[in-house]
């Protein structure tokens, strides 16, 4: 079981490779939860993400600006064109491509990312405010990016916040207990509530006790 906050993608990917089978089981576990549980899971994800966002430095990562299609609304286009002092048509022809869901930045790597920092931060597209889609009050397991447990696991390969959320979610969803029971009657630990000790100089965020998020 992971006992520290991992923030480096190299270490995260190594860990994920070791846990491939477990993560496939966890994805199936999430998919099989009853109707009320996805709400508990999404609320827990929301709170965990808020905590891990405080200890993961996005400026050392920037993956969501490199690997995700960023869709642009008309308002996004207007703001960015104004900022760049060009017309909206010029903006569209230089920076955008048409997709079946509307306009998006031409390349996956955002043209406004420099040294892992956003150079148009105040005028960034609306979708950029939301990534990794874990802080939305309305998020549900059926919501954006989380229609399947596999998608939740897949995001851990890109996003350190999501990776740490995933690991904590295994505990608070009850999945870890099912593993312990499978492994030969190890004593079942109490539900996770909080881990106080600093790890690598970082403190884990407060966790949501199982069941309290509903």
What's the min distance (Å) between Cβ of 80 and ligand SF4? 8
Using the rule CB under 6 A, is 70 a contact of ligand SF4? yes
What's the min distance (Å) between Cβ of 13 and ligand SF4? 13
Report 155-174 residues binding ligand SF4 (CB under 6 A): 158-161
Q: Token pair for residue 118?
A: 């956003």
What's the min distance (Å) between Cβ of 134 and ligand SF4? 8
Tell me the helix, strand and coil percentages in the chain, rounded to 5. Answer: 45, 10, 45
Compute CA distances 60 → 8, 56, 65, 107, 116, whole Å. Answer: 9, 8, 12, 21, 6
Only one of the segments 33-41, 153-161, 164-172, 193-201 lies at the binding site for ligand SF4 (rule: CB under 6 A); that segment is 153-161
- Is the CB of residue 29 less than 8 Å from the CB of residue 149? yes
- How many residues belong to the site for ligand SF4 (CB under 6 A)? 22
Query: Phi-psi category of 189—alpha, beta or left, where left has phi over 0 and alpha has psi -120 to 50?
Result: beta
What's the min distance (Å) between Cβ of 124 and ligand SF4? 4
- DSSP string spanning 136-178? -TT--TTSTT-SSHHHHHHHHTT-HHHHHHHHHHHHHTTHHHH
- Is the CB of residue 173 less than 8 Å from the CB of residue 166? no
**Cβ neighbours of 19 (radius 10 Å):** 18
What's the min distance (Å) between Cβ of 46 and ligand SF4? 14
CA distance 48 to 204: 10
Using the rule CB under 6 A, is 139 a contact of ligand SF4? no
Using the rule CB under 6 A, is 120 a contact of ligand SF4? yes
Only one of the segments 25-33, 88-96, 105-113, 186-194 lies at the binding site for ligand SF4 (rule: CB under 6 A); that segment is 105-113
Using the rule CB under 6 A, is 113 a contact of ligand SF4? yes
Element (H, E) at 21: helix 20-31
Using the rule CB under 6 A, is 19 a contact of ligand SF4? no
Using the rule CB under 6 A, is 118 a contact of ligand SF4? yes
Q: Which is nearer to ligand SF4, 56 or 152 (CB)?
A: 56
Residue ranges that bind ligand SF4, judged by CB under 6 A: 56, 58, 61-65, 70, 110, 112-113, 118, 120, 124-125, 128, 131-132, 158-161
């Amino acid at each position: 079981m992971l006992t520290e906050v991992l923030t480096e993608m190299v270490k995260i990917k190594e860990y994920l490779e070791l846990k491939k089978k477990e993560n496939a089981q966890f994805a199936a576990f999430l998919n099989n939860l009853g109707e009320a549980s996805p709400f508990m899971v999404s609320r827990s994800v929301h709170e965990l993400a808020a905590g891990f966002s405080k200890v993961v430095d996005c400026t050392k990562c920037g993956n969501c600006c490199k690997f995700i299609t960023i869709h642009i609304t008309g308002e996004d286009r207007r703001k960015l064109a104004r900022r760049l002092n060009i017309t909206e048509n010029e903006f569209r022809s230089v920076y955008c491509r048409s997709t079946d869901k509307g306009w998006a930045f031409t390349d996956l790597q955002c043209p406004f990312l420099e040294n892992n920092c956003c150079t148009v931060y105040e005028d960034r597209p609306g979708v950029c405010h939301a990534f990794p889609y874990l802080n939305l009050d309305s998020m549900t397991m059926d919501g954006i990016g989380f229609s399947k447990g596999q998608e939740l696991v897949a995001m851990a390969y890109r996003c350190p916040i999501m990776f740490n959320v995933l690991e904590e979610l295994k505990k608070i969803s009850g999945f870890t207990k099912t593993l312990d029971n499978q492994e030969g009657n190890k004593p079942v630990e109490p539900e996770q509530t909080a881990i106080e000790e600093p790890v690598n100089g970082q403190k884990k965020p407060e966790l949501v006790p199982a069941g309290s998020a509903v």
